[in-house]
Amino acid sequence: MHNNPMYEWLFILGILFVVLSIIQSVYHLRTLIGLKKPEESSINIQNLKDDDNDDIWKNVYCPYCGNSLNSDFLFCNKCGKKLP
């Protein structure tokens, strides 16, 4: 190799990057296939839906373009028109 010590550090950092990428990939793959459960602190959408705000999760449709919207929207996110 070259006599410049910078090349040695770049090589070491490259190896470290590859090893950390493999570890992260294995962790996410295990979580995806169910071998490891995600942390309890992660947000669970089902728990949010069970709250008292049930009307927020009901869909309504834009009368102008037919886009599905949440009931708390004031404007359509597709056509941009103000909802009645």
Tens digits of residue pLDDT in 22-70 = 999 988 887 777 665 555 545 555 555 544 555 555 678 888 888 888 7
Q: Specify the pLDDT at position 5.
A: 79
Let me know: does 69 contact 76? Beta carbons within 8 Å: yes
Where residue 73 falls among pLDDT bands split at 50, 70, 90?
Answer: confident
The CB-based long-range contact list for 61-65 (8 Å cut-off, 24+ gap) reads: none
Q: Specify the pLDDT at position 12.
A: 93
Written as one string, the DSSP assignment of 19-41 is HHHHHHHHHHHHHHHTSSPPPTT
Q: What's the pTM value of the predicted model, to 2 decimals?
A: 0.38
In 10 A of CB 62, how many CB atoms? 19
Q: Specify the pLDDT at position 34.
A: 66
Angstrom distance (rounded) from CA 23 to CA 29: 10
